[in-house]
């Protein structure tokens, strides 16, 4: 992908997981979410700079320090100059990830895919199984995640797969125009290996198409081989990479 296409998709992805505070600074966006998740607590590059890089980095570092947070940058494989500068400054690479995309076709077996699947545009009943499957027990973290969902203003889709009447797999989507971000994909550990992840993803993909999306895209950590294998089988293709560069304090 070209640099401007990557930045456009990065902007869309940011709208699918919205921090409590964002600050624009000379083509960069700083996000603050009380330290919960890299996506909500990092700097992204959306436009070419007019200011000197070192001055901008110092400005960001000082602002994150004032909020009691380390300064993290989310950099794609197109941000080579910034990445080199930060690594030379002592930043460490965290969670290298792939961005994958799928052009959505019309399914032949939608009725079967949707069987035992519940869709919603709000997460009130979706949260409990999601937090349980993720093993979240810290109330501050749970409230922070709920706030990120509340902050998200693009169209949202929550997907729950049922087995014997109880939730066993969940995912969500953030839809803007032709693009649907598939994220928060998780299967109850007690029910893994039964093909529920595939069913969950397909249901999310095709319901997104009904809501106007032409493409489904996602972000997956590089060492998550199980998820990457599933996404490859579903037809997703890698289009670029990103990682977080974390200030070493």
pLDDT at 15: 96
pLDDT at 108: 79
Phi, psi values for residue 50, rounded to 5°: -110, -15
Distance CA(56)–CA(38), nearest Å, equals 20
Exposed e or buried b per residue across 113-148, where buried means at least 16 C-beta atoms within 10 angstroms of its C-beta: bbebbeeeeebeebbebbbebeeeeeeebbebbebb
Residue 117: both structure tokens together: 């699947």
Q: What number is the average pLDDT over the span 135-156?
A: 97
Domain boundaries, the chain: 3-98, 105-213
Q: Of all helices (H) and strands (E), which one includes residue 21?
A: strand 21-25
pLDDT at 118: 98
Q: How confident is the model at residue 1 (pLDDT cuts 50, 70, 90)?
A: confident
Q: Give percent of the chain with pLDDT exceeding 90.
A: 97
Domain 105-213 in CATH 3.40.50.2300: no
**Using the 8-state DSSP alphabet, how is residue 221 labeled?**
E
pLDDT over 90 at 69, yes or no: yes
CA nearest to 74, candidates 247, 249, 248, 195: 247
Residue 126: both structure tokens together: 């979706």
| Three-class SS state of 231 | helix
Q: How confident is the model at residue 103 (pLDDT cuts 50, 70, 90)?
A: very high
Residue 75: both structure tokens together: 């950099």
Q: How confident is the model at residue 106 (pLDDT cuts 50, 70, 90)?
A: confident
pLDDT at 248: 84
């Amino acid at each position: 992908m070209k640099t401007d296409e990557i930045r456009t998709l990065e902007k869309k992805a940011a709208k699918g997981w919205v921090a409590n505070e964002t600050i624009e600074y000379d083509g960069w966006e700083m996000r603050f979410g009380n330290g919960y998740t890299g996506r909500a607590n990092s700097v992204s590059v959306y436009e070419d700079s007019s200011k000197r890089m070192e001055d901008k980095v110092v400005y960001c570092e000082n602002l994150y320090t004032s909020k009691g947070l380390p300064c993290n940058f989310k950099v794609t494989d197109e941000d080579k100059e910034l990445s080199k500068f930060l690594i030379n400054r002592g930043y460490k690479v965290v969670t290298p990830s792939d961005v994958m995309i799928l052009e959505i076709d019309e399914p032949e077996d939608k009725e079967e895919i949707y069987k035992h699947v519940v869709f919603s545009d709000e997460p009130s009943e979706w949260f409990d199984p999601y937090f349980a499957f993720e093993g979240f027990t810290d109330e501050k973290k749970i409230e922070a995640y709920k706030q990120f969902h509340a902050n998200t203003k693009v169209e949202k889709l929550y997907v729950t797969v049922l087995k014997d009447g109880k939730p066993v797999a969940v995912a969500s989507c953030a839809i803007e125009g032709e693009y649907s971000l598939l994220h928060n994909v998780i299967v109850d550990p007690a029910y893994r290996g039964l093909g529920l992840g595939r069913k969950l993803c397909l249901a999310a993909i095709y319901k997104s198409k009904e809501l106007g999306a032409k493409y489904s895209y996602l972000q997956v950590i590089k060492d998550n081989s199980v998820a990457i294998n599933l996404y490859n089988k579903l037809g997703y293709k890698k289009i670029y990479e990103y990682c977080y560069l974390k200030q070493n304090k």
